[in-house]
Amino acid sequence: MSRLKRETRETQIEVEIRRDNGAAEIATGDVFLDHMLITLGRYAGVFLQVKAKGDLRHHLVEDVAIAVGLALRDEVPETCSRFGWATVPMDDALVRAAVDVGGRPWYEGRLPSALYQHFLQSLAVNLGANLHIEVARGRDKHHIVEAAVKATGLALRQALSQGGDNAVFSTKGSVKVERT
């Protein structure tokens, strides 16, 4: 389980993450952000609790993504599958996500919402993950963003799962970082 508090003059955020399928407990004051966090937790197979307040919507969404990414980083098992990918259809939208939780942060993708593109980028960078999002098609912005979050969650679920031989899927082995 990972817990953290992140506070600035703009936002106050508390996050708890556990690698189990408990129902999410989300309270950010932003209905769509709450919906996306519940979705991310459910599809990633993690219990996610977020309490957050912010001055502007942009600051709230960005800082919540940073805090969730940092907390999720602590939940990456040393011996995990490391890679995950998923394709999610949602009505008119079809979105693919591929992730590597091996500690090399990068985000590549283009969503019709700059705010939620920034959300996924902030999540990936702070998680230390390489995340690629590809929108194959779609017209409805809500459907595209939600499909991207669902695909990211499913890809994370796969990447965080224990490797078949209880070893990380990499020729370099696991990456150990010690903070002193």
Q: What homologous superfamily does CATH list for 2-160?
A: Imidazole glycerol phosphate dehydratase; domain 1 (3.30.230.40)
For range 48-72, the mean pLDDT = 98
Give the C-alpha distances (Å, rounded to integers) separating 161 from 105, 154, 179. 19, 11, 24
DSSP letter assigned to residue 75: T
Output the pLDDT for position 3.
Answer: 97
Please give the structure tokens belonging to residue 178: 């010690």
Q: Phi then psi for 151, rounded to 5 degrees?
A: -65, -40
Domain spans in the chain, listed from the N-terminal domain onward: 2-160
Output the pLDDT for position 20.
Answer: 87
Q: Is the pLDDT of residue 74 over 60?
A: yes
Percent share of the chain, pLDDT over 70: 91
Output the pLDDT for position 22.
Answer: 83
Q: What is the mean pLDDT of the chain?
A: 93
Residue 71 contacts residue 2 (beta carbons within 8 Å): yes
> What pLDDT, in 10s, does the model give residues 85-128?
999 999 999 999 999 999 999 999 999 999 999 999 999 999 99
